Amino acid sequence: MSAPGRKTLYTGRSKAMARCLSDPVKIAQDHFLLTLNAPEMKNSSPGQFVNIRVSGCSDPLVRRPFSIFFHENHRVEIIVKTVGRGTRAITGFRAGDSIDMLGPLGRGFTPITRGRALLAGGGVGNAPLYYLSRRLTEAGIPCTYLYCCRSSAHLYLRENFEAAADSFIVATDDGSCGERGRAPEIAERLLKGDRFDIVYTCGPTPMMEGVARAATGAGVPVEVSLENYFGCGIGLCSGCTVETEKGNKRACVDGPVMDGSIINWHSFTA
């Protein structure tokens, strides 16, 4: 069964002044859970993201994009991986702090309405897939979730992910938790051993390319959530252009979720 036709999701670029409900919680090595109260952000879809301005951090001046880990009512959760001064500043927020935030932004995943889904996430790329898995499971869609990360130290909120899927598989690069292996090879094995109607994936670009090729080779539709650097997040700067078989696309507004079978993956390393 093919994935349903893509539809334009809510992409309102509203400025949502959010407030931290608690201090950031360290959930794994270099990963923090940030829980916000954002009453102005009324709707979002799995795969969309928010852009947060870092007050007092001038390197650089642009906002930082974060996938929505979960959103219900006014409560918004995001996963922050510390990679530089900006993300470290965000993990320095404290309960009660106000946050200048834009969102929800971009196009999210297209949830299937029947059939079986395979979700494959790598590292912080598991964040938007958790939101999707929750929604699919709530709708009665059986989900197999493949959670990949570097080591056991980078595995976060395992119980949450296990509760959001019918089948949950952990794989680490070093074999310190679950099976030893990488997402593309394991996804290919799963696709050969069971019937899936769609594959959703998010993570490092080489991982997504491998998973997308495995899905396409098995004749299964695949959606990827690109982890490009978004300069503006609203389609103005064209700093996140992606080459596809249907022309150049801007990952922040035409994505971040796209059909993985039409992306020119070689352009990412050109």
pLDDT in tens, 142-179: 999 999 999 999 999 999 999 999 999 999 999 999 99
Name, in order, each residue with C-beta under 8 angstroms of 14's C-beta and a sequence gap of 6 or more.
40, 41, 102, 103
For residue 145, give every residue at least 6 positions away whose Cβ sits within 8 Å of its Cβ, in sequence order, or none: 119, 121, 129, 133, 161, 164, 165, 167, 168, 169
The better pLDDT of the pair 33, 227 is held by 33
Asked if residues 23 and 36 have their Cβ atoms less than 8 Å apart, the reply is no
Question: Domain 15-105 belongs to what topology?
Answer: Elongation Factor Tu (Ef-tu); domain 3 (2.40.30)
pLDDT of residue 56: 57
d(CA 266, CA 150): 24
Q: At what angle do helices 205-217 and 183-193 cross, to 10 degrees?
A: 20
Distance of CA 170 to the CA centre of its chain: 17
Instruction: Retrieve residue 260's tokens.
Output: 């993985």
- Provide φ and ψ at 245, rounded to 5°: -65, -15
Assign a CATH topology to domain 117-268.
Answer: Rossmann fold (3.40.50)
Q: Which helix (H) or strand (E) holds 51?
A: strand 49-52
CA distances for 85 relative to 24, 113, 136, angstroms: 16, 41, 36
Question: What residues have CB less than 8 Å from 57, skipping those under 6 apart?
Answer: 85, 86, 89
* pLDDT band at residue 58 under the 50/70/90 scheme: low
pLDDT in tens, 65-93: 999 999 999 999 999 999 988 899 999 99
- Closest by CA to 28, choosing from 161, 217, 195, 224, is 161
Q: Which residues belong to CATH 3.40.50.80 in the chain?
A: 117-268
Q: Using a pLDDT cut of 70, give the percent of the chain over it.
A: 86
Q: Report how far residue 55's alpha carbon sits from residue 178's, in angstroms, rounded to the nearest whole number.
A: 40
Tokens 């022309």 locate to 247
What pLDDT was estimated at residue 238?
64
Give, as one character, the DSSP assignment of residue 176: S
Which residues make beta-bridge pairs with 202?
Answer: 121, 225
- Residue 76's pLDDT is 97
**Confidence tier at 61 by pLDDT (50, 70, 90):** low
Residues 77 and 69: beta-carbon distance below 8 Å: yes
Tell me what pLDDT residue 7 has: 35
Distance CA 57, CA 137 (A): 40
Q: In what order do the strands lie in the sheet with 222-225?
A: 179-180, 167-172, 143-149, 117-122, 198-202, 222-225, 257-259
Task: Specify the higher pLDDT residue, 7 or 69.
Answer: 69
CA torsion, ordered 34, 40, 45, 51, to nearest 10 deg = -50
Computed over every residue of the chain, the mean pLDDT equals: 89
How crowded is the C-beta side of 42, counted as CA atoms within 13 Å?
4
Of 9-13, 47-51, 210-214, 254-258, the one with minimum mean pLDDT is 9-13
The helix or strand, by DSSP H or E, that contains position 69, with its residue range, turns out to be strand 64-72
Residue 45 CB coordination number (10 Å): 23
- Range(s) of the chain covered by CATH 2.40.30.10: 15-105
Q: How confident is the model at residue 244 (pLDDT cuts 50, 70, 90)?
A: confident
Residue type present at position 225: S
